[in-house]
Amino acid sequence: MLEPVISNIQDWPIARIARHQDEIIEDVSEESLNQIIHLTQQSKSIRDLIAQAVYLEKIRLKDDPWDVDPEDESEFWAKVKKRLSSYDPILTDKNEVQKIENDLLKLIIKRYTEEIIGNFDPKLYWFAQQTLPIFFGRLLSASSGGIKSIFKPKMALKDRLFITGPIEKIRQLSTKGTVILVPTHFSNLDSIIIGYGMTTIGLPAFQYGAGLNLFNSRILGYFMGNLGAYKLDRRKKNLIYIETLKAYSRINVYKGAHTIFFPGGTRSRAGSIEKDLKLGLVGTVIEAQRMHFEKEANDNAHKIFILPLTVSYHFVLEASSLISEHLKRTGKEQFIIADDPFQSARAIFKFFWELFSASSDITLSFSEPMDIFGNQVDDEGNSIDKFGNKIDIKSYFSRNGVIAKDSQREQVYTKMLGDIILKKFMTANTVYSSHMVAFVAFEILKKKFNETDIFTILRLTEEDREIPWDDFVFTCNRVRDELYQLNNHNKVKLAPHMTLEMEDIIEHGIRNVGLYHTLSPIYRTKEGNISSEDLKLLYFYHNRLEGYGLQKCI
């Protein structure tokens, strides 16, 4: 574990910001109000926006209530509706109408802001920092050496967690600007693993958005809410909430909070690396950079750095429910979605137990840091072009030599950044044995039956699923050869175990991908051939290698 780049937790950006929550609420409220008023000048009136919010919130409360929802939620929206109905906008004085509507808008924005806002408690963070590694170390030792090893731990989480990339450069840049970490997203455990990884390399704590549903658990909600997580409620679709959330993100990034954005928006239901990104919050980063150039001397303007991260697991805690949901969403087949196991402490314990007991690994693979336009940066944070020349990025925001807001232009910048992040996810992906064996097995079945319809493959009988061992080994060798070529051209990364003998790689992959699940996605039959007890799970893990053109090797 590396020394912290900032030794005093109280001096961390997230801790400094947390000491001024009232100021954050005030700034976010003002920013949101101004943005919404600007938008209403172009389309709907404020009254229409409030009415739409009331309507959508009433539907949410009726159709999709959560335990974490405030007890006075229905009462609050009833009062807003009553106040909105208490006047006729045509007959009432225009100034009075404006005051009523602005007051209501401020009230809603303030409520949303107070719900969204996260906190950071240095003492609680210190406690978690001291106890979690010990807990994981004892669990790891017990799972690999028996229950007695709990009391004499010999291993640590760091022995299972591999962090690759320009670590020293990342550490240095974290002291020169604001780091925006954009990871792939496969599990609700990503935040825990990534947070531990950031601690391991000595970075200050990051803030991140967590689904409000995760706060249904009081214990989990308490820790998350005081360790940097702010709340996202994907049920809320009205423009007032969306603009308030964006303003919260923009203000916090502007104030220097290192932040994690999961640009996929949610966990990958299909098990594949993200192909489409939800860039609403990522766009606030570009806006925050412009704000720095607007409000600070250009030569001293604070810099924001984008850091893509690809997370690799052998197996995913929620894989079964995620792939079921993905398949149901396609509309071509009906599947019963299992309960999400993340709610179960027993399931999480089992996940880590299996992870540790089989020497299974997790890799956090960092790409090279970039500026907000996707340009590489040097160790001092200067933007550089492909020839190594410095670039003055403030000109990207200029119009006739003046820094100016241009929403349409910034949307284009956001889309360009999203495309670059997607490429970085693919090139930083660390291929595990489990990914390869699942990919090869599923693709062989597709080719065997000359079938492109996934649902037909998923309905194969047990007898039809069997793949001769020699055919499987031969195809795995072809796929690995292609992966070597991709690795040589920096288009993907390979885990160290991918250099073993092929039969050892296959055994390693089959063992690891089947650790956690009751039904094995892939296994060897008594006759020594390859088959699957759960084709949905096999498909989920197969999807990890989609997008590399490996089908040509089958």
Residue type, 204: P
What pTM was estimated for this model as a whole?
A: 0.89
Alpha carbons 323 and 328: distance in angstroms, whole number: 8
Longest dimension (CA), the chain: 86
- State the DSSP string of 133-189: HHHHHHHHHHHHH-GGGGGS----GGGTEEEES-HHHHHHHTTTEEEEEEE----TT
State both tokens at 134: 């010990």
Alpha carbons 125 and 223: distance in angstroms, whole number: 9
Report DSSP state, residue 553: G
- Residue-level pLDDT, tens digit, the chain, 554 residues: 899 999 999 999 999 999 999 999 999 999 999 999 988 876 678 999 999 999 999 999 999 999 999 999 999 999 999 999 999 888 889 899 989 999 999 999 999 999 999 999 999 998 887 776 655 555 444 434 444 444 444 445 566 789 999 999 999 999 999 999 999 999 877 888 898 899 999 999 999 998 898 888 888 888 889 999 999 999 999 999 999 999 999 999 999 999 999 999 889 999 999 998 988 899 999 999 999 999 887 677 899 999 999 999 998 888 999 999 999 887 554 444 444 444 455 555 555 555 555 556 889 999 999 999 999 999 999 999 988 899 999 999 998 888 989 999 999 999 999 999 999 999 999 999 999 999 999 999 999 999 788 999 999 999 999 999 999 999 999 999 999 999 999 999 999 999 999 999 999 999 999 877 889 999 999 999 999 999 999 999 999 999 999 999 99
Closest CA to 452 of 338, 537, 332, 323: 332
Other CB atoms within 10 A of residue 373 CB = 16
Question: Where is 308: in which H helix or E strand?
Answer: strand 303-313
Q: Three-state SS for 351?
A: helix
- State the DSSP string of 427-447: HH-EE-HHHHHHHHHHHHHHH
